[in-house]
């Protein structure tokens, strides 16, 4: 490399560190919903990407509605829309659990096929409802552009936003699972369904709400990603591979594993991309994941419950 | 010998099913369809290899592999590499910067045939590689997983992750693999033009015969002690383990067998379609292969073939008549088969037709069949 | 051999046999009926593509799958052109009937449907394909069955099939004039090249690098490819900051394109501070990216919707009347619109629908069309002689045309590159 001034290198280091963290929060946010559903219920939701797309289209619809009817509220609609994304994805998830998933708990492999079918149907519905082309929500100004702590350093505002959201959501999930009465029941159901039922926990209801919450989180993730990525009928498929990798690499049934896995994949990819090229960085990261998976097929943190 | 053949045909009921399938594939289809449709059926039948492999791995082994497309792809790419080298002779690539290498390499500024391509000049090596490469990879994957007792859903998503990663690698290494375009414009096999109608007819029959042969081999395996162990394994793995068997080895065997069967299908795909592309090795095709097996009935080898044909015909018919709605039909089919007919077509046949057919057959050959039944009982 | 001249002999093989062996024929017919009933599709192969009143053409794009995002515009434009041609009385007195097939963003499906269109439907021409991969997949089928394809996308070149008319620009047409313009007006010396990792950006960047280094005497300070579908550009953008190029020269496609521009804006790299020239943003993509993220960046295309000519205004209003007021019209959409018209001109010059005669007319060098982008000339090498335009993006997702080149001859196999 040519000679760069020290201050140049310093600012790149800061920004590079930030982009690693920002990728970490993106991956974490993607994977959380899936990790909850998979970790707590052992269900693979192949339509996870489409639930993210629900979130993205919710943002788009809110943006269009606000622009048309309440243009003065444009700076604030995003917050409401994220809540809306959670609620809509939650409700859809709840209905899906009720009509589909609950009949298949004894056959986890079949759930996988059924949710795959569901994802095909959802993609087509998006296409019929919003058109085959990509759309773009008008984002409020405070989400766009960058924050300049020094003249040389630009920290992306949307990166900060995604990071804050992923901290909030992770925190909420931890609180929910480990500090709330609901969480206690969820964990009890995971560990021993029959006993949980015997002590009076309505396990069916627990399942339904857990699944719906996982879907709701996917909706939030999709909503946040409108700030950094595209919105189209098949956008979900862009995320789904990364999402699965994070969950598999982290090991099932371990929230901490998901966090650790998102962190290590993000850092590896971000650093490698900087020193190699974008495509090569991804390739080397993936090769490493495959190698580690061959040596530790259970992922970084194995589940404590042996089947 | 006779007993062996009997087992390969799948005893009496199996033999009838196999005979019906053989008549449909080798007689009715070629007579009824023009070469375009027949070639299309030939393409579908290559997917049927993967589905038959899945019946072994999933239906009998209890392991759902979502990476069947990967092995299909290995077979297909090995064959495509051989054909591509043959198509890239010095005269037809004379306008390139480096003549004599495949065109896509030239476009990607590769100036020398990569090492890994060199042995694919030999057809014998290619045939060997079509079997050996997927065997090796599937062994490494399954040994790593099953020795550590990883199974169930978790195994499925790891195979899926591997499928995803390999697709990204194939797409990314375009100087080596042709990238997203795949390896296209294949012409001859040892000087024999594979694009003529007569070649297509011949390839169709070779493909059909291979498929029937594979089903017979699977029947043999299933009717052996190994087959019964597999069933026991699927239903109560721990008991088999406690009886002193090394469970992992049986699972590894099944998985590798499924992989090799898929790879044969992949090689036939390349020959009949004339190119190989990463779009048939990733997550989506791998899952579609599972649905072929599921529609046919996950426990039925013959059913897998029907399942493949019906889903693909459905896909073609739906997308010709309602281009923008076929995803809805496909999705509904996935959900329907899981919720309503978990045993697929074979299950429907068992519950509605089997008794009638058996009764019919018994009436026809009353004396003979009772003899045969005794033989069957004595054997088992 | 053309498909029309061998029509009489194109009898279903089973039917031919039926004439010779009546009983075998019955079996075959029964089996055929069985399969027909199963799928509801007609297998009879001897349909004639041209009657006295009608000529059948095929349309083969992805209306589902990941590519539907891009190909929708082309589907709409081709249908508009065909309906206009029909309103004018059709081609050689025959109305055009369209059979639309879905390639489903899957290359083997494209090959299968191309075969179906040519061998079962015997269509006279096909308007279709978008990605290079789909074109490569259908090409062997097309050449074997001697079909005609009108391909609308700007692409990498390195190809010239007698069975294809390329109505989009090949790489040299899109690259050189644009680089000239940016070097002259922006006094650019250093370039950073970035594209998605597949054949079109790689070929384009190869041409660009050579041109920058040998003709413009500039430097390429970085060349980089992003995995297809990649949504993460943070590290790449940091690298670009470190290199401080005068121009970012970009060819990122698909969903990645949206991420790339959104993250550029978020990193403080905007049209105000940085010159960026892209080869992969049309009005279609701009809709997905959001105009505010593109503001001040440049695209090199042969057509922009904002082109201020009476001919284009007429086209835009016709398009909106048919497909709705919000439908964007991008470069490829306009190129797709040219397909049916060029085919009509070639058929009328040939006086026949036969492929060989139409190809001869195409190669005569006399086929022209007064397109929305201006007059286009079909050259004997199957590509169009057109202009290149540079558009500067506005916040509303439209571009102001800031430069129009002279006519550029297509040169799919550039020497020395």
Cβ–Cβ below 8 Å for B275 and C111: yes
Nearest CA in chain C to A274: C235
Would you call B154 an interface residue with chain A, using a CB distance cutoff of 8 Å? Answer: yes
Per-residue pLDDT at A153: 83
Q: How confident is the model at residue B374 (pLDDT cuts 50, 70, 90)?
A: low
CATH for C171-301+390-404 is 3.40.50.2300
pLDDT score, position A74: 83
Per-residue pLDDT of A57-82, as tens digits, reads 999 999 999 988 888 888 889 989 99
Which positions 261-280 of A are in contact with B (Cβ < 8 Å)?
A: 279-280
Handedness of CA B128, B129, B131, B135 (dihedral sign): positive
Please give the ipTM for the structure prediction.
0.84
Integer Rg of chain A from CA:
20
In this prediction, residue B377 carries a pLDDT of 54
Whether C158 and C412 have beta carbons less than 8 Å apart is answered as yes
**Rg of chain B in Å (alpha carbons):** 22
Cβ–Cβ of B342/A252 closer than 8 Å?
A: no
- Asked if the C-beta of C237 comes within 8 angstroms of chain A's C-beta atoms, the answer is yes
Please name the residue that has the structure tokens 């999930």: A173
Long-range Cβ contact pairs of B187-190 (< 8 A, separation 24 or more):
B187/B83, B187/B86, B187/B87, B188/B83, B188/B86, B188/B87, B189/B82, B189/B83, B189/B86, B189/B123, B189/B271, B190/B86, B190/B123
C301-340 pLDDT tens trace: 999 999 999 999 999 999 999 999 988 999 999 999 999 9
pLDDT digits 0-9 by tens, B132-189: 999 999 999 999 888 888 777 778 878 888 888 888 888 888 889 988 889 988 888 9
Please tell me which residue of chain B has the smallest CA distance to C226: B172
pLDDT mean over B292-318: 88
Sorting pLDDT into bands at 50, 70 and 90, what band is C188?
very high
The CA distance from B24 to the nearest CA of chain A, in Å, is 29
- Quick check: A4 contacting C, CB < 8 Å? yes
Most confident stretch, A298-302, B273-277, C179-183: C179-183
User: How high is the mean pLDDT of chain C?
Assistant: 86
Residue C55 has phi, psi (to 5 degrees) of -130, 135
Q: Which residues of A149-187 are buried (b: 16+ CB within 10 A; e: fewer)?
A: eeeebbbbbbbbbbbebbeebbeebeeebeeeeebebbe
Distances (CA, A) of C17 to C5, C7, C28: 22, 18, 9
Structure tokens at B254: 């099944």
Tell me if C48 sits within 8 A of C7, measured CB to CB.
yes
Q: Which of C265, C296, C268, B103 is nearest to A153 (CA)?
A: C268
Q: Which of residues 91-150 of C touch A (CB under 8 A)?
A: none
How many residues does this entry show for chain C?
417
C9 vs A208, more confident: A208
**Residue ranges covered by each domain of chain A:** 21-251
Measuring CA to CA, how many Å separate B376 from each of B5, B12, B18, B230, C36?
A: 13, 9, 18, 21, 39
Stretch (H or E) spanning A10: helix A6-41
Distances (CA, A) of A185 to A38, A210, B83, B90: 17, 10, 60, 71
Q: Which residue has the higher pLDDT, C150 or A183?
A: C150
Cα nearest neighbour of B105 on chain C: C199
Residue A9 predicted with pLDDT over 50: yes
Per-residue 3-state assignment (H helix, E strand, C coil) for C6-75:
CHHHCCCHHHHHHHHCHHHHHHHHHHHHHHHHHHCCCCCCCCCCECCCEEEEEEEECCCCCCHHHHHHHH
User: What does the pLDDT read at residue C10?
Assistant: 38
Nearest CB among A135, A156, A225 relative to C287 is that of A135
- Shortest Cα distance from B233 to chain A (angstroms)? 14
Query: Residue B53 and residue B20: Cα distance in Å, rounded?
Result: 20
**How confident is the model over C95-133, as pLDDT tens digits?**
999 999 888 888 888 998 999 999 889 999 999 999 988
Residues of A in contact with B291 (CB under 8 A): 113, 116
In a 10 Å sphere around its CB, with 0-12 CB exposed, 13-18 middle and 19+ buried, how is residue A46 labelled? Answer: buried
Binning pLDDT at 50, 70 and 90, where does residue B370 land? low
- What is the reported pLDDT for C40? 35
Q: Of the ranges A186-200, A203-217, A242-256, C209-223, which one carries the lowest mean pLDDT score?
A: A242-256
What number of other Cβ atoms are within 10 A of residue B371's Cβ?
10
Where residue B109 falls among pLDDT bands split at 50, 70, 90?
confident
Residues 6+ apart with CB under 8 A from C85: C91, C96, C340, C341, C344
Mutate to test the interface with B, among A105, A120, A129, A291 (most CBs of B within 10 A): A120
Q: Of the candidates A20, A154, A232, which has its C-beta nearest C267's C-beta?
A: A154
Contact yes or no for C92/A255 (Cβ under 8 A): no
Query: What is the crossing angle of helices A255-275 and A157-179, to 10°?
Result: 160
Q: What confidence score (pLDDT) does residue B366 get?
A: 67
- Nearest alpha carbon to residue B283 among A97, A233, A243: A243
The tokens of C275 are what? 């010159």
Q: Minimal Cα distance from C193: which residue of A? A: A277
Nearest residue, CB atoms, B32 vs list C31, C137, C141: C31
User: Which chain B residue shows the shortest CA-CA distance from C26?
Assistant: B32
Closest CA to B42 of B311, B218, B265, B302: B265
> Which has the closest alpha carbon to A28: A242, A230, A192, A172?
A242
**Optimal mutation site among B54, B138, B165, interface A, most CBs of chain A within 10 A:** B165
Q: Which residue of C has its CA nearest to A231?
A: C288
C68–A132: do the CB atoms touch at under 8 Å? yes
Selected for mutation to probe chain A from C64, C65, C69, C236 (highest A CB count within 10 Å) is C69
> What pLDDT score was predicted for residue C5?
36
The span from the CA of A210 to the CA of A204, in Å, is: 10
Question: A149 at the C interface (CB within 8 A)?
Answer: no
Pairing of strands C190-196, C247-251: parallel
Superfamily of domain C54-169+310-385: Response regulator (3.40.50.2300)
Show the CA angle centred on residue B307, arms to residues B301 and B313, nearest 5°.
Answer: 145
Q: Rounded mean pLDDT of chain A?
A: 86
Chain C CB within 8 Å of residue A160 CB:
no
Q: Does residue B148 come out as left (phi exceeding 0), alpha (psi in the -120 to 50 range) or beta? A: alpha
Tally helices (H) and strands (E) across chain A.
11, 2
Q: Is the pLDDT of residue C48 over 70?
A: no
pLDDT, position C20: 40
For the stretch A220-278, pLDDT in tens is: 999 998 888 888 888 888 788 788 888 888 876 678 888 999 999 999 888 888 888 77
Tokens read off for B188: 């001859």
User: In the A/B pair of chains, how many CB contacts fall below 8 A?
Assistant: 122
pLDDT recorded at residue A141:
81
Q: Is a pLDDT exceeding 70 seen at residue A92?
A: yes
Contact by Cβ (8 Å): C120, C45: yes
> Closest residue of A to B137, CA-based?
A294
Confidence at B324, pLDDT banded by 50, 70, 90: low
Angle formed at CA B137 by CA B136 and CA B143, multiple of 5 degrees: 85
How far apart CA C20 and CA A276 sit, in angstroms, is 68
Considering only CB atoms, A297 lies closest to which of B158, B331, B335, namely B158
Nearest C-alpha of chain A: how many angstroms from B335? 5
pLDDT at C7: 37
Which B residues, 293 through 352, put their C-beta within 8 Å of a C-beta on chain C? 310, 313-314, 316-317, 319-321, 323-324, 326-327
- Name the residue among C24, C108, C228 with its Cβ closest to that of B273: C108
Give mean pLDDT, residues A2-17.
78
Neighbouring residues of A244: CB distance < 8 A, sequence distance ≥ 6: A34, B157, B160, B161, B164
Q: Report helix, strand or coil for C94.
A: strand
Residue among B92, B319, B325 with most chain C CBs within 10 A, to mutate: B319
Could you tell me which residues come within 8 angstroms of residue A59 by beta carbon, excluding any fewer than 6 positions away? A78, A81, A82, A85, A137, A223, A226, A231
Q: List chain B residues with CB under 8 Å of C38.
A: 310, 313
Q: Would you say residue C14 has pLDDT above 50?
A: no
Interface chains of chain A (3 or more CB pairs under 8 Å): B, C
- Contacting A residues, span 92-121, partner chain C, CB-CB under 8 Å: none
pLDDT in tens, B228-250: 888 888 888 888 888 888 888 99
Q: Residues of chain C with pLDDT > 90: what percent?
A: 64
- The torsion angle over the Cα atoms of residues C318, C321, C325 and C328, rounded to 10 degrees, is -40
Q: Which pTM does this prediction carry? A: 0.85
Long-range contacts of B124-131 (CB under 8 A, 24+ apart): B126/B78, B126/B79, B126/B81, B126/B82, B129/B78, B130/B74, B130/B75, B130/B78, B130/B79, B130/B263, B130/B264, B130/B266, B130/B267, B131/B260, B131/B263, B131/B264
Written as one string, the DSSP assignment of C151-173 is E-S-B------TTEEE-S-BHHH
Q: Among residues B201, B167, B163, B183, which one has the least CA distance to residue B120?
A: B183
Q: Which of residues 182-201 of A touch C (CB under 8 A)?
A: none
Cβ–Cβ gap A230/C288 under 8 Å: yes
Q: In degrees, to the nearest 5, what angle opens at C-alpha B339 toward C-alphas B334 and B345?
A: 70
Give CA A254 to chain center in angstroms: 16
3-class SS of residue C150: strand
State whether residue B164 sits within 8 Å of chain C by CB. Answer: no
Mean pLDDT of B78-84: 95
Backbone angles phi, psi at C403, to 5 degrees: -160, 140
Given a cut of 70, whether residue C231 has pLDDT beyond it is yes
Predicted pLDDT of residue B323: 62
Beta bridge partners of C128: C60
Q: Which residues of B touch A126 (CB under 8 A)?
A: none
Residue B350: DSSP 8-state: I
Q: Which residues of chain B neighbour C64 with C-beta distances below 8 Å?
A: 323-324, 326-327
pLDDT at C16 over 90: no
Residue bearing the bigger pLDDT, C141 or B108: C141
Subunits with 3+ Cβ pairs within 8 Å of B are A, C
Sequence ranges of chain C with CATH classification 3.40.50.2300: 54-169+310-385, 171-301+390-404
From A203's Cα to the closest Cα of chain C, the distance in A is 38
Mean pLDDT of C271-299: 92
B233 to chain A, any CB pair closer than 8 A? The answer is: no
Q: Is B171 on the interface with A (CB under 8 A)?
A: no
| Chain C residues with beta carbon closer than 8 angstroms to that of A4 | 242
Cβ–Cβ contact B182 with C under 8 A? yes
Mean pLDDT of chain B: 86
**Is B157's Cβ below 8 Å from some Cβ in A?**
yes
Q: Give A279's contacts in chain B (Cβ within 8 Å).
A: 172
Neighbours of chain C (3+ CB pairs under 8 A): A, B
Q: What is the CA radius of gyration of chain C?
A: 23
Inform me whether the C-beta atom of residue B286 falls under 8 Å from chain C C-beta atoms: no
Tokens coding C264: 């550029």
pLDDT exceeds 90 at position C219: yes
């Amino acid at each position: 490399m040519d000679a760069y001034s020290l201050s140049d290198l310093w600012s790149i280091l800061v920004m590079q560190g930030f982009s690693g963290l920002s990728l970490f929060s993106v991956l974490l946010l993607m994977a959380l919903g899936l990790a909850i559903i998979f970790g707590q219920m052992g269900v693979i939701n192949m339509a996870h990407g489409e639930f993210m797309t629900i979130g993205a289209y919710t943002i788009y619809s809110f943006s269009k509605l606000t622009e048309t009817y309440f243009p003065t509220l444009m700076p604030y609609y995003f917050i409401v829309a994220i809540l809306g994304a959670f609620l809509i994805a939650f409700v859809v998830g709840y209905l899906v659990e009720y009509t589909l998933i609950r009949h298949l708990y004894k056959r986890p492999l079949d759930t996988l096929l059924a949710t795959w079918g569901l994802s095909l149907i959802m993609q087509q519905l998006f296409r019929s409802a919003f058109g085959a082309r990509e759309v773009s929500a008008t984002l409020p100004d405070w989400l766009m552009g960058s924050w300049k702590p020094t003249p040389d350093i630009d920290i992306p505002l949307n990166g900060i936003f995604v990071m804050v959201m992923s901290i909030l959501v992770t925190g909420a999930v931890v609180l929910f699972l480990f500090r709330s009465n609901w969480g206690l029941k969820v964990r009890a159901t995971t560990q021993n369904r029959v006993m949980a039922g015997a002590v009076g926990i309505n396990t069916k209801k627990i399942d339904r709400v857990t699944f719906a919450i996982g879907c709701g989180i996917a909706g939030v993730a999709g909503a946040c990603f409108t700030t950094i990525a595209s919105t189209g009928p098949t956008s979900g498929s862009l995320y789904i591979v990364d999402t699965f990798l994070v969950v598999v690499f982290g090991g099932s049934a371990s929230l901490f594993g998901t966090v650790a896995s998102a962190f290590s994949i993000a850092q590896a990819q971000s650093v490698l991309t900087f020193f190699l090229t974008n495509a090569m960085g991804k390739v080397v990261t993936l090769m490493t994941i495959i190698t580690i998976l061959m040596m530790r097929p259970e992922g970084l943190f194995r589940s404590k419950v042996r089947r | 010998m006779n007993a062996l053949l009997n087992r390969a045909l799948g005893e009496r009921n199996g033999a009838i099913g196999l005979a019906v399938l053989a008549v449909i594939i080798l007689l009715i289809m070629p007579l009824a369809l023009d070469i375009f449709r027949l070639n299309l059926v030939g393409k579908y039948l290559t997917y049927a290899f993967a589905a038959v492999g899945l019946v072994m791995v999933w239906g009998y082994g209890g392991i759902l592999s979502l990476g069947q497309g990967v092995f299909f792809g290995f077979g297909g790419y090995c064959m495509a590499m051989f054909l591509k080298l043959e198509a890239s002779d010095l005269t037809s690539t004379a306008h390139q910067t480096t003549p004599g290498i495949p065109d896509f390499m030239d476009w990607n500024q590769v100036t020398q045939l990569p090492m890994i391509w060199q042995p694919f000049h030999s057809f014998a090596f290619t045939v060997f590689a079509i079997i050996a490469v997927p065997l090796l990879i599937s062994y490494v994957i399954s040994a790593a997983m099953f020795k550590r007792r990883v199974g169930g859903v978790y195994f499925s998503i790891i195979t899926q992750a591997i499928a995803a990663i390999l697709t990204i690698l194939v797409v990314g290494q375009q100087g080596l693999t042709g990238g997203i375009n795949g390896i296209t414009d294949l012409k001859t096999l040892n000087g024999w033009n594979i694009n003529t109608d007569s070649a297509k007819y011949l390839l169709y029959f070779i493909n059909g015969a291979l498929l029937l042969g594979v089903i017979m081999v699977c029947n043999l395996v299933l009717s052996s002690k190994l087959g019964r162990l597999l069933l026991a394994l699927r239903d109560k793995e721990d008991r088999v383990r406690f009886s002193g068997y090394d469970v992992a080895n049986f699972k590894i065997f099944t998985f590798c067998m499924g992989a090799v069967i898929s790879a044969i299908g992949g090689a036939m795909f390349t020959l009949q379609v004339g190119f190989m592309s990463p779009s048939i090795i990733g997550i989506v095709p791998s899952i579609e292969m599972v649905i072929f097996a599921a529609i046919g009935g996950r426990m039925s080898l013959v059913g897998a073939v029907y399942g493949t044909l019906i889903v693909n015909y459905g896909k073609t018919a739906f997308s010709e008549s309602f281009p923008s709605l076929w995803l809805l039909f496909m999705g509904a089919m996935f959900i329907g088969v899981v919720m309503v007919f978990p045993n697929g077509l074979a299950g429907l046949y068992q519950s509605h037709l089997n008794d009638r057919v058996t009764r019919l057959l018994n009436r026809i050959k009353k004396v003979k069949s009772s003899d045969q039944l005794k033989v069957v009982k004595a054997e088992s | 051999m053309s498909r029309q001249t061998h029509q009489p002999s194109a009898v279903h093989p089973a039917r031919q046999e039926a004439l010779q062996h009546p009983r075998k024929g019955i079996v075959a017919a029964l089996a055929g009926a069985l399969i027909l009933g199963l799928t509801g599709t007609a297998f009879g192969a001897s349909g004639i593509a041209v009657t006295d009143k009608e000529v059948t053409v095929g349309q083969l794009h992805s209306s589902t799958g990941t590519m539907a995002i891009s190909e929708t515009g082309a589907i709409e434009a081709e249908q508009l052109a065909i309906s206009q041609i029909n309103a004018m009385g059709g081609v050689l007195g025959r109305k055009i009937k369209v059979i639309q097939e879905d390639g489903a963003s899957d290359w083997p499906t494209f090959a299968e449907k191309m075969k179906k269109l040519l061998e079962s439907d015997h269509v006279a021409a096909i308007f279709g394909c978008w990605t290079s991969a789909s074109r490569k997949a259908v090409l062997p089928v097309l050449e074997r069955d001697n079909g005609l394809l009108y391909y609308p996308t700007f692409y990498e070149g390195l190809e010239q099939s007698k069975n294809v008319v390329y109505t989009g620009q090949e790489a040299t047409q899109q690259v050189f004039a644009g680089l000239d313009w940016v070097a002259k007006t922006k006094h650019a010396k250093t370039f950073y090249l970035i594209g998605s990792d597949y054949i079109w950006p790689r070929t384009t960047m190869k041409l660009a690098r050579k041109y920058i280094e040998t003709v413009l005497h500039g430097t390429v300070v970085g060349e980089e490819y992003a995995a297809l579908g990649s949504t993460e550009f943070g590290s790449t953008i940091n690298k670009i900051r470190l290199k401080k190029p005068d121009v970012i020269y970009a060819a990122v496609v698909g969903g990645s394109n949206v991420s790339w521009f959104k993250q550029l804006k978020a990193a403080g790299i905007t049209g105000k501070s940085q010159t960026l020239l892209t080869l992969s943003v049309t009005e279609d993509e701009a809709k997905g990216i959001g105009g505010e993220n593109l503001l001040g960046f440049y695209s090199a295309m042969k057509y922009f919707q904002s082109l201020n000519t009476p001919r284009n205004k007429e086209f835009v209003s016709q398009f909106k009347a048919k497909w709705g007021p919000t439908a964007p019209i991008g470069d490829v959409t306009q190129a797709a619109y040219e397909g049916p018209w060029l085919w009509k001109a070639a058929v009328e010059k040939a006086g026949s629908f036969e492929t060989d005669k139409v190809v001869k007319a195409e190669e005569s060098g006399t086929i022209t069309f007064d397109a929305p982008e201006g007059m286009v000339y079909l050259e004997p090498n199957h590509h169009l002689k057109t202009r290149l335009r540079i558009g500067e993006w506005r916040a509303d997702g439209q571009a102001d045309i800031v430069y129009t080149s002279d006519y550029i001859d297509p040169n799919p196999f550039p020497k020395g590159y």
